[in-house]
Amino acid sequence: MAVTDPIADMLARLRNGHAALHKKVVMPASRVKTAIASILKDEGYIEDYASAAGEQGENLSVTLKYAKGRGIIAGLKRISKPGRRVYVGAEDIPRVQNGLGICIVSTSGGILSGEKARSSNMGGELLCEIW
């Protein structure tokens, strides 16, 4: 069955994996999901990620990160959705949880964290917030 919003599906799988204290979460891979996983790893929200061929195409395996028995990711929120796209300029990229979280922006230079997009003076589609 086709997924209408693959990014929301990825965020839901990460949220559910943390709630169930799973070590790994597996999902269908795409370039956007791999770029988001790369940002999450660079920012310290996940342990690692790997892409491998599966039975029905390529799969993305994300190793979740925990501290004191609790997930590092406290919250995930999809901002731009298929029914309502949200675009922001570089100066309008929000600070998430007063700088304790990150937002992910799809720019003309690729998918970047909010801080990198702001420092590069690049706006774009505001994909999600993570804290």
Domains 6-71 and 76-130 share a fold: no
- Could you tell me the residue ranges of all domains in the chain? 6-71, 76-130
What phi-psi label fits residue 69: left (phi over 0), alpha (psi between -120 and 50 degrees) or beta? left
In whole angstroms, how far apart are CA 94 and each of 71, 91, 107?
24, 8, 15
Pick from 25, 71, 79: nearest CA to 48? 25
Render pLDDT for 38-49 as a digit per residue (tens, 0 to 9).
999 999 999 999
Q: How far apart are CA 43 and CA 55, in angstroms?
A: 31
The predicted-structure confidence for 52-83, as pLDDT tens digits, reads as follows 987 888 999 999 999 998 989 999 999 999 99
CB 60 within 8 A of CB 26: yes
CATH class of 76-130: alpha beta
pTM exceeds 0.75: yes
Whether 103 and 114 have beta carbons less than 8 Å apart is answered as: yes
Classify domain 6-71 at the CATH class level: alpha beta
